[in-house]
Structure 1
Amino acid sequence: MLQRAINPIRQRLDRIGIGLSGLCALHCLASIVLVSGLGIGGELFFAPDIHRWGLVVATLVAAVAIGWGALRHRMAMPFVIAMTGLTFMGGALAVPHGYKEAILTIIGVGLVSLGHILNLRHCHSAACKERCGD
C-alpha cells in the first residue's frame, strides 16, 4: 500500500528531472548565443555557482528518482546512463567556459534525461506491473 503511494512521487521526480535537463540545455545554448553573439549577460550566464548548483540539484533528483527505480525494479540501465550523464556534467565544470563546456553539459543532460525516460518507461511496462505491482 505504501509503495503504491510512493510510486507517483518517484514518477513526478523523473518528470522534474527531464524538465530540469531541458532547462539546463536551453541555458547552455542561450549562454552561447547571448554572450558570444550579442556580448551580454556573461557575468550571469557563466557564473560558476549556477553550474555547481545545477549539478547538485540534478544529482539529488537523479539519485532519488533513478536510484529508487533501480532498487525497486532491479534495472541498472537507467541508473548507469544517468550517472554517466552526471559525470559529463561534472566534467563540464572542469573545462573553461565556452563551447567545450556547453557540449559536455548538453551530452550530460541528454543522458540524465534519457535515464529518467527509461525509468518512467519501465514503471509503465507490463513486466513492472506484473513483478512490482506498480
Structure 2
Amino acid sequence: MHSLYAAAVNQLSVPNSRLDRLAMTLSGLCLVHCLATSVLLALLSAAGGILGDPIIHEVGLVLAIALGAIALGRGIREHGFWLPSAIGGLGLALMAVALTQPHGGREAIFTVVGVMILALGHRLNVLASE
C-alpha cells in the first residue's frame, strides 16, 4: 500500500522549486495586499476627518447658494418659469437646515434630500431652457 501511495504522489507531484516559487508569489501577494489595505484605510480615515469638518459643509452651502442663485435666477430670466427656482430653493433650504442639525443621521438626511431636490431644480431649469 505504501508503495502505491508513493507512486501516486510521485506522478502527481509538482517539483519543489515550483512549489517554492508559488509559495513565494503567494506570500508576496499577501504582503502587497496587507500593505495596500493599510495605506488605503489610513488615507480614507484622514480624508474622512477632513471631509467631515463642519467648515466643509458651511463653505459648500455658501457655494451652492451662490451658484444656485445665479443659475436658477438666470433660468427665470431666460425662460420665465419660476418652478425650477422654487424647487431648487427648497433644496437649498433643506441643505441650510442640515447645518443646524447635530452631526449625524438627521444632518445627513437633510443634506442628501436637499441636494437631490436642488439637482432636480437645476435639471428642470435645463429642460425649461431647451
Band of TM-score, shorter chain: 0.5 to 0.7
**Misfit runs of 4+, over 6 Å:** none
Long gaps (5+) in structure 2? 1-40
Number of matched residues? 87
TM-score, length basis structure 2: 0.62
- Does structure 1 retain, via aligned residues, the 8 Å contact 2:89–2:118? yes
Match of 2:86 among 62, 67, 80: 80
CA deviation vs aligned residue, 1:43-78 (integer Å, no higher than 9, x gap): 322211100000011111111111111122221110
Residue 131 of structure 1 aligns with which residue? Answer: none
Please show how residues 45-84 of structure 1 align to structure 2 within 5 Å: 45-84=51-90
Rounded Cα–Cα distance in structure 2 between residues aligned with 1:97 and 1:70: 35
TM-score, length basis structure 1: 0.60
1:94 aligns with 2:107: no
Q: Which has the higher contact order (CA 8 A, sep 6+)?
A: 1
Please show how residues 6-45 of structure 1 align to structure 2 within 5 Å: 40-41=45-46, 43-45=49-51
Long gaps (5+) in structure 1? 1-33, 125-134
Rounded Cα–Cα distance in structure 1 between residues aligned with 2:77 and 2:116: 22
- The Cα shift of 1:110 comes to 0.4
Residue 122 of structure 2 aligns with which residue? Answer: 116
Rounded Cα–Cα distance in structure 1 between residues aligned with 2:51 and 2:106: 15
- Does structure 1 retain, via aligned residues, the 8 Å contact 2:95–2:114? yes
2:129 counterpart letter in structure 1: C
1:103 aligns with 2:109: yes
Rounded Cα–Cα distance in structure 2 between residues aligned with 1:68 and 1:105: 24
Rounded Cα–Cα distance in structure 2 between residues aligned with 1:61 and 1:74: 19
2:62 counterpart letter in structure 1: V
Residue 18 of structure 2 aligns with which residue? Answer: none
